[in-house]
Chains A and B, each alone.
Chain A
Amino acid sequence: MPSVRESIDIAAAPDAAFQYVADAPARATMFIPGLNRISNISTERPGAEQSWDYEFNWFGLVITGNSRCTRYEKPSFYQFKTLTGNPSTWSYRFEPKGTGTRVTLEVEYELPQSQLARFAAASALEQMNRNRAREIVANLKALIEP
Chain B
Amino acid sequence: MSVRLFHRHARLVVTGATRDRVHTWYAWHWRPVAWADIFAPALLLVGFPSERGPAGLRFGDGSVHWTKGPLWTTIRLQLPPCSDRKAGLLASGLLKAARYADTRGVSICQA
Contact = CB atoms under 8 A, between A and B. Distances in A.
A29 B93 contact: yes
Interface stretch (A58-66, A71-79, A101-109, A122-130): A58-66
Interface residues of B, number: 25
B93 A62 contact: no
Nearest to A20: B47
Nearest to A26: B45
B30 interface: no
Contact of A62 (B4, B46, B85, B90): B4
Interface stretch (A1-9, A90-98, A136-144): A136-144
B111 interface: no
Contacts of A36: 7, 10, 96, 99-100
Contacts of A30: 42, 45-46, 89-90, 93
B101 interface: yes
Interface string A31-72: 100001101000000000000000101001111110000000
Contacts of B83: 142
A2 B99 CA distance: 32
Contacts of A86: 1
Contact of A37 (B5, B86, B101): B101
A115 interface: yes
B2 to A, nearest CB: 5
B34 to A, nearest CB: 16
B3 interface: yes
Given A29-B96, A112-B3, A142-B89, 12 more contacts: A26-B41, A30-B45, A31-B89, A36-B96, A36-B100, A55-B100, A63-B1, A64-B2, A85-B1, A139-B85, A142-B83, A142-B86
Which are the 9 A-B pairs with shortest beta-carbon distances? A30-B93, A142-B85, A84-B1, A37-B100, A27-B45, A36-B100, A62-B4, A142-B86, A85-B1
